[in-house]
Each structure stands twice: as structure tokens, then as C-alpha cells.
Amino acid sequence: MISKRILNLMLTAAIAIPAVPVFSVPSQAQVQLHELLFGGGRKKREERRQEEVRRAAPAKIVTVSSPRYYTYKPEAMTTVSIASLMPEAEQAGGLEPSLDFESRRFAEATALAPDTSLTMEKDIAAALKAHYAANPKFIWSRGNSVTDEAKAVAAMLEKAADQGLEAADYAVAVPRDGWSMDNPAGRTADLLAFEMTLSARAIRYAQDVKDGAVIPDKLSGYHDFPLPRLGAEQTIGILSKTKNPGFWLKTLEPRQEEYAALKRELASLRAEDVDEIVIPSGTFVKVGQTEPALPLIVKALRKRVSEETRVKHAATFAEYLGGEEYTHAIAELVRDFQRENGLVPDGIVGRNTISHLSDVGHASKVERVELAMERLRWHPEEFGMRHVVINQPAFRATYTENGVDKLSTRAVIGKKSNQTSFFFDEVETVVYNPYWGVPQSIIVNEMLPKLYRDPSYLDRAGYEVTNASGRRVSSASVQWWNYSGKVPYDVRQKPGPSNALGEVKILFPNKHSIYMHDTPSRHLFDRDVRAFSHGCVRLQQPQAMAAAVLGKSEDYVRSMIAAGGGEKAEKVAKKVPVFISYYTAWPTAEGKVEYFSDIYDRDIYLDRALKAVHQARGSADS
């Protein structure tokens, strides 16, 4: 053991060693020796290192931002005269005699074209001008009479509200069959105005009923529907050649059974004699408490429970005389109602139970159905024989085969700050015992602040770090504080019981890096509102979904997981369409439409966009 005298001599020698001028601040060697001799050296060095890190770290991290919502801008409108849409006289064959009466009639009409103005989308105006220049004939009249086909199309446009569309945007006044023989020029002018108006409105209707009145990608960065829309030039070409244009327009409607169910629901709502039961918001009652709204609650239960539950609790209904005491018997009735609706059967009447008991306002129901129909028009006309629909507001993923729902499982979707996008794709691969590739948004927004303080954090937490060349590096070796935004490193979590993706993930490669997967956080599926993820879709029954898309058994999937050996991928035999959707009104397999909360406020943005489109069309027409 070193004596105190020797220590003092060593310290004196250390101070005397430098042959350079003595500074008032001790040298590094002196400080290190002092820490070695008098203790606390390791702690002080760590404190100094952390202080250096804090000084070197950027003042503020530039976080990876989520997509944003836009102010919707409708398609540009233009006001044109009927005359301006007509071909020049020489293009229409002048006034030369012709054996083709219809060609001669159209050529003569060019000289009688009225100055009446029409408002339409610019692409529609261009398509009409090009079409009638190349095909100088009437589509919607023969001789001096409107055709039956034209009347049928006009009648269809008049009923556009049946499709959840604004009927006024497509309305066309049909000339009367009777007309004055004393004014043939006036009749020709009327038929020409009708010709151009019906052509323009039929094109608009065709485009809207097939692809939607709103272009979804103009709503927000969360929407991703890159399909080309039905072109105006293509549409007028088909309308002019088909023998039954009304039938062709009918074929453009979405052909999913869900669309038909929504259409029926819309008609039913509009014919309904409304008797709404609205339970006051904020109502919350447990057994033994009194509640002024209890008569409304029991009335709603009587209206909404299944016939089986109604029979089971017939005595409770019969004995209830309108009091405010929440009894055990009523609580048991509530529990059965909660089970029927996929709620936690706790017997407590709170916000989620009330949302299922209260009638959604009638006008709100109509709006939600119309918005659901609009959203369905963004999809292909058919979902396919095998497909998966993930309805975000319902927190549910459903696998359907040959028109039958084979699996419907609870799902967890993105938080409002990390919303799940709205798009469609195809399931291609199932991965067993997966790695979790951490998105840059999580690395930067959540991990980087920790790494500033503790660069070895990822090494200890079971993550692998690779550089831009793909070489594995230690997290502790990276000078994370040099980065204030996206980093040139990839981070992934190793497979295992704590892996964020659990034991299986189901991939449909997309630019949003969204997929379905398992999760170790099983307790979240007990919640009624399940918006907790960073955007991906967690499934309560991931192995069942993997088996469904693979066309194999759950035992097979379990055996692949149990086989171990690290991450393994298996291609599906045939790709399965998957629709990551957003419907606040959606039918069950039995065709009953259910209503859900607008968790991301997307109904608000779509409703504003539809109103903007209608206003642009209407204000221009007025």
C-alpha cells in the first residue's frame, strides 16, 4: 500500500515534470493523476464526456414530419358558348347538299348555333370540341326529336343523388317533344344546346360515378390512388358509338356488394321517418348509481339488442318502470349488448357503449354513407374473389373469399399523429420470426434524442445498426450527435419475444412501409378505440390472417414459426388484393350498415372537398 508521504512526492514530481511554462489550469496528466489518487475519476470522466456530447449535439432535431392535409382545389372550370364548341363550317361539310340527312342537319346547325353559355371542366370542353370536329353528327337527337336513349341518360343523371352525388351537377333540361313548325331554326338551336349540355353532363357523370367527384390524392399525403381516371375524350367516344349509353353508364358503378348495400341504406335513410334516441354526451354510470338518462338508455337497449338478448332479459324490460337507479339486472343486459357489439363487457355505460346505443344523427348517417360511396369509387370496380379489407375507423381487418368473410379480426392502427395511409395493394409475402426494420421517422423522432445521451442504447436493447455500405457497426461507435435529421444508418430489431412485430408479418410492399403484423402488446386489443401504432396494422389473429392469404392452415403457420432458424419469408401462391381503407359507414357481411367515429377527421376534409367541387360547378353555372 502506498504511504501518504510517497503519494505527496509523486504528486510534487508530476507537477514539476513539464518543461513548458506553468498555466493556471492543471494539465490533463495532472488532472488524471489527481483523479487516480483521490478517487471519482471514472465518474468525472463520464460527466465530461456527456458534457462534450451535449455541446456537440445539434441545438434542435429536425424531425421527420408526417404527411399533411391540403386545401382541396377543384378542377378548373371554363365557360364556353355553344357556338365555340361547334366545328368550323368547312369542317362540318359546309352547307353542301348531302344524302346523309343527319350529317346535313348538323352542318346546317353550325350556322344556327346559339350563343348560350355552358360551364364545364376544361378537359370536357376540349374533348367536345375535338369530337364534334371529327364526328359532325348529333348523338342525342334524330331529325327534330330527342332519342329515347337521350331521355334515358337524362333520367339517369336526374337520379344522381341515388349514387350519393349532387344531382344538380348533372341536371339537363330535355326539350319537349312538341315544337312549333313555324320556327325550325329555333328547334335546331334548342336541340344543339341540348346536345352539348347532355354530352358535357354525361361525361362528368361517367367520370364521377367511376372514379369519384374528388381526386383523392389532392386531399392529403395520406391518400394514395395513382389510378388513371376515365378520360373525357374516351368517354364521349364511347357514348357516341354505343347503342345503349345508359346501360354503359350503369356499368361504371362500383360492383362490390358493399356499394349496393350502401346504396340501399342511403335510399332507406331518405325514406325513414326519424325517431332518434340521443343519449347526452358525457353520460357515465355504474351499478348502484342513479342516472337521469337511464330511461333513454333502456329505450335504446330495447331498440338495439338482438332478439335473443331481448328474450333473455324480457323480465328486466318488463319490470323497468322508468326509474333512474342502475341495477344489477340492467347491468347484465348492458353486458350482453356490449358482447354483441364487440365491446368490453364491463356493464359500465360510458362513451363507447353510448356511441353504439345512441342514434347517430340522421343527417350525419346520410353524410357518412355518401362519403363511403365516394371512397369506394376510388377503388377498382371489384375487390376480387379473395381480398382483405382493413377498415381503419372500425379497427378491423377482414379476409373474404368467394363473397364469404372467412376471417374478421381486431386491428390496431396508427395514432392520429402517425396515421395509417389510405391505399390499396397486393399481399405478396409472409415473414416468420421477422426482424423489425425501424423507420427513419422513429429513428430520428424517438431514438435520436436517447442516442445523444447514450450512444450504446441500441446495442443493449437488441438492435442491429448497419452503415450505408450495409456493414454492421456498434451503436456506441456512431457519433449520433453529428446528425440533426435523417441518419445514414439502418436500424433493425432482432427477432425474439420483445420484437415489435411479434412472430409474423404480412407484406404488401408500398412506399408507406405499411404492413400487417403480430405484436407482443396483446392487451391493446381489449380496447374499443385502437389507434396506437406508428402506422402499420397490428392484428389480434396474425397467424390466422397469414394462413388465409397463404391458403394454408394455422397449424402450418405455427410450425414455420416454431421451426426457428431466424427470419424466413414465404411468397403467397397468388397475390391477394388488400384495401387499407377508411369508411365511417360500412356494411356487415349480412348487409347491415354500421357507423364509426371519424378518428382522423377525414370525413371533414372530404366533405369540404365535395362542397368545393359542387360550389365550383354551381357558381359557374349561375
β-sheet bridge partners, residue 106: none
Q: What is the mean pLDDT of each run of 10 residues along the chain (622 residues)?
A: 51 46 49 54 64 63 88 94 80 47 77 84 96 93 92 97 96 85 78 95 98 97 91 97 96 96 96 80 90 92 91 93 93 94 90 82 90 96 96 97 96 96 97 95 93 92 92 94 92 92 96 95 93 96 98 96 91 97 96 94 96 84 48
Q: What per-residue confidence (pLDDT) applies to 7?
A: 46
Query: Would you say residue 265 lies in a domain?
Result: no
Identify the domain boundary among 299, 330, 358: 358
Query: Would you say residue 262 lies in a domain?
Result: no
Residues 518, 559 within the same domain: yes
Residues 230, 291 within the same domain: no
Taking the chain, what is the end-to-end CA distance rounded to the nearest angstrom?
102
Residue type, 469: S
Q: How far apart are the C-alpha atoms of 240 and 202, rounded to whole Å?
A: 11
Q: Which residues, 6 or more positions from 289, have their beta carbon under 8 angstroms from its beta carbon?
A: 325, 326
Q: Which residues, 6 or more positions from 180, have their beta carbon under 8 angstroms from its beta carbon?
A: 186, 187
Name the residue range of residue 27's domain. 4-56
Query: Would you say residue 592 lies in a domain?
Result: yes
Query: Would you say residue 381 lies in a domain?
Result: yes
Residues 555, 450 within the same domain: yes
Residues 107, 187 within the same domain: yes
Residues 125, 248 within the same domain: yes
Identify the domain boundary among 209, 238, 253: 253
Query: Would you say residue 439 lies in a domain?
Result: yes
Calculate the CA 533 to chain-centre distance.
Answer: 15
Query: Would you say residue 616 lies in a domain?
Result: no
Residues 52, 85 within the same domain: no
Q: Sort 424 into a burial class: Cβ within 10 Å, 0-12 / 13-18 / 19+.
A: buried
Q: How far apart are the C-alpha atoms of 485 and 60, rounded to whole Å?
A: 9
Q: How far apart are the C-alpha atoms of 94 and 203, rounded to whole Å?
A: 28
Residue labelled with grid coordinates 372550370? 77
In tens, the pLDDT along 468-521 reads 999 999 999 999 988 988 999 999 999 988 899 999 999 999 999 999 999 999
Calculate the CA 51 to chain-centre distance.
Answer: 45
Domain with residue 481: its CATH number is 2.40.440.10
Residues 18, 87 within the same domain: no
Q: Sort 484 into a burial class: Cβ within 10 Å, 0-12 / 13-18 / 19+.
A: middle
Q: Which residues, 6 or more positions from 321, have their beta carbon under 8 angstroms from its beta carbon?
A: none
Asked if residue 362 lies in contact with residue 271, where contact means CB atoms within 8 angstroms, the answer is no
Asked if residue 390 lies in contact with residue 505, where contact means CB atoms within 8 angstroms, the answer is no
Residues 233, 308 within the same domain: no
Query: Would you say residue 620 lies in a domain?
Result: no
Q: How far apart are the C-alpha atoms of 594 and 313, rounded to whole Å?
A: 24
φ and ψ of 394, to 5 deg? -90, -10
Q: How far apart are the C-alpha atoms of 387 and 122, rounded to whole Å?
A: 37
Decide: helix, strand or coil at residue 150: helix
Decide: helix, strand or coil at residue 421: coil
Helical H segments across 110-244, by residue range: 122-134, 148-158, 184-211, 232-241
Residues 319, 385 within the same domain: no
The number of residues making up the chain comes to: 622
φ and ψ of 464, to 5 deg? -110, 140
Residues 291, 405 within the same domain: no
In tens, the pLDDT along 4-23 reads 554 454 445 444 444 444 44
Q: How far apart are the C-alpha atoms of 461 and 7, rounded to whole Å?
A: 43
Domains: count for the chain = 4
Asked if residue 524 lies in contact with residue 538, where contact means CB atoms within 8 angstroms, the answer is yes
Query: Would you say residue 396 lies in a domain?
Result: yes
The residue among 526, 524, 505 whose CA lies nearest residue 514 is: 505
Secondary element (H or E) of residue 430? strand 423-432
Q: How far apart are the C-alpha atoms of 609 and 64, rounded to whole Å?
A: 27
Residues 81, 224 within the same domain: yes
In tens, the pLDDT along 403-426 reads 999 999 999 999 999 999 999 999
Residues 469, 531 within the same domain: yes
Q: What per-residue confidence (pLDDT) applies to 398?
A: 98
Q: How far apart are the C-alpha atoms of 451 and 478, rounded to whole Å?
A: 9
Domain with residue 345: its CATH number is 1.10.101.10
Asked if residue 444 lies in contact with residue 485, where contact means CB atoms within 8 angstroms, the answer is yes
